[in-house]
Amino acid sequence: MNIREIWYEPHPVSPQRKAELRAMGVQVVDAVFKPEGYENPPLRNAEGLWADGPTIAEFIAAGYPPTEYPPHGYAPRSTAEEIASAIAAASAIAPEGGQRPDGSAAGVQIDGQGLGAIHGDKPADTNGDGKLGIEEIRIALTAKGINFDPKAKKADLQALLDAANKPQS
């Protein structure tokens, strides 16, 4: 017997919604049977990632750099375009004075190195050696909406990026 968490959902539930909830590992029960004060558990998607994480805007507002979005263990709630836009805005070079209009410093800095910007589908090569750094690969994967393990090795991330950039035949 497979024990699953119960998810109370107002009925009628569409077959698509029911399949979506079951894929997240919950048993669907009509909300009229929901005990008083009970809250549905957080959901995980088919990859086992939590589905209730922050949007890119909420993530940045909490003080985290956009290059680390989505947080480990969470599926992104923002679109690839929103993520790419946030990363580009964070890495934009400010006009005179080295600050953006909001007063924050220009450019995302990790270990003292700026991450560059995304130009089209090709991420920036910030050190000019023709190879992408691990942060540049993460930016490109995030911009393309590809989920990856933040602890993955550079070679694994590069393989994901190469597969995403391979022309479809």
pLDDT of residue 45: 63
Burial of 87 (0-12, 13-18, 19+ CB in 10 A): buried
pLDDT of residue 118: 37
- 115-165 pLDDT, tens digit per residue, is 333 333 444 555 555 677 888 888 888 878 888 887 888 888 888 888 888
Rg (CA), the chain: 20
Contact between residue 139 and residue 64 where contact means Cβ atoms under 8 Å apart: no
What are the extents of the domains in the chain?
Answer: 1-41, 56-165
- 5-42 pLDDT, tens digit per residue, is 888 999 998 988 888 888 777 889 999 999 999 888 77
